[in-house]
């Protein structure tokens, strides 16, 4: 049998387990390699060609905020599916899986800002947008309309959501509405926020040195994601996906395909950001830094 260490740190022997070799395929880097050319092109655009002033960051945030919001929606969908959120309460599913998702929810839904105030990562992101001068009206109208109508398409229309952001959210909600826990967990684990800080942290840190009164909250947001998502949450999410796929090869294959598609949708989201940024000459954009 294969010796594995479970989430409590206890070593166990699993007879006939094929999961270590299958699980080894599930790293963001290896999944990204399946889209290597476009993935590298997108990283190059964002890091070296596009974002270099405050206005560029504002454009990025006005797109990315939709990914932050639908990340929270995916998280809560998983919690609803994997734990009992009803009254009367009853035991549901694996206690290990309940523990994993609830631990992630606590951190994402009620983390600390730089002043020690409790708030969700989405609320922290909105505050960072406001400090930076990014337009928050669109995402606020989107949420308000969604609460009123429960229709994502109507909310998109009311908010004037960018098409690239719409397509990203649509894919996430296709997975949510499919109600296949292993696919939801896979895109949560391998196609989501853990890809962001490594790409943008150095850029935002440099801008923060120049404009701390505008970038400080966003810089804190990225640092917090490195600390939380890049360490504790990524390990918890990986264990959750492993638990849900277990010994089912079909589940692993479906999880892999969903993750690859999610990465492709994220690339398309970045393409949308890039195309929006280059619409205006750099001289015009740079004039807005002091605004």
Would you say residue 38 has pLDDT above 70? no
- How far is the C-alpha of 98 from the C-alpha of 162, rounded, in Å? 35
User: What is the pLDDT, as a whole number, of residue 40?
Assistant: 54
| Burial of 14 per CB tally in 10 Å (0-12, 13-18, 19+) | middle
- pLDDT bin (cut points 50, 70, 90) of residue 32 is very low
Full-prediction pTM beyond 0.75?
yes
Contact 102, 83 (CB under 8 A): yes
Q: Residue 259: pLDDT above 70? A: yes
Tally of CA atoms within 13 A in the half-sphere of 60 that contains its CB: 22
pLDDT band at 53 (very low <50, low <70, confident <90, very high): confident
**Tens of pLDDT, residues 166-204:** 999 999 999 999 999 999 999 888 766 455 545 556 777
Q: What is the rounded CA–CA span in Å between residue 285 and residue 279?
A: 10
Q: How many CB atoms lie within 10 A of CB 37?
A: 7
Whether 122 contacts 72, CB under 8 Å:
yes
Residue 63 — pLDDT band, cuts 50, 70, 90?
very high
pLDDT averaged over the chain?
79
pLDDT of residue 34 exceeding 70, the answer is no
Asked if the model's pLDDT at residue 270 lies above 90, the reply is no
Quote the pLDDT of residue 174. 96
pLDDT given for residue 279 in this prediction? 84
- Mean pLDDT over residues 251-273, rounded? 89
């Amino acid at each position: 049998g294969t010796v594995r260490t479970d989430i409590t740190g206890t070593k166990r022997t699993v007879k006939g387990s094929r999961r270590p070799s299958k699980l080894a395929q599930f790293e963001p880097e290896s999944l990204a390699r399946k889209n290597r050319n476009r993935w590298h092109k997108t990283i190059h655009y964002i890091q070296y060609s596009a974002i270099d002033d405050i206005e560029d960051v504002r454009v990025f945030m006005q797109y990315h905020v939709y990914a932050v919001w639908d990340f929270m929606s995916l998280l809560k969908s998983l919690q609803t599916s994997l734990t009992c959120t009803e009254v009367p309460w009853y035991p549901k599913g694996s206690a290990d899986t309940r523990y994993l998702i609830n631990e992630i929810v606590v951190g994402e839904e009620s983390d600390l800002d730089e002043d020690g105030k409790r708030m969700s990562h989405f609320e922290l992101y909105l505050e960072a947008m406001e400090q930076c001068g990014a337009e928050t009206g669109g995402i606020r109208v989107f949420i308000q309309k969604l609460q009123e109508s429960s229709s994502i398409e109507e909310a998109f229309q009311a908010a004037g959501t960018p098409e690239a952001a719409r397509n990203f959210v649509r894919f996430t909600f296709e997975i949510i509405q499919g109600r296949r826990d292993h696919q939801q967990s896979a895109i949560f684990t391998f196609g989501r926020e853990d890809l962001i800080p490594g790409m943008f942290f150095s850029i935002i840190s440099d801008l923060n040195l120049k404009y701390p009164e505008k970038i400080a909250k966003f810089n804190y947001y990225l640092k917090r994601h490195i600390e939380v998502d890049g360490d504790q949450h990524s390990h918890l999410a990986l264990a959750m996906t492993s638990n849900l796929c277990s010994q089912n090869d079909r589940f692993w294959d479906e999880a892999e395909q969903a993750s690859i598609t999610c990465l492709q949708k994220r690339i398309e989201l970045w393409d949308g950001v890039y195309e929006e940024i280059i619409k205006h000459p750099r001289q015009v954009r740079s004039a807005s830094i002091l605004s």
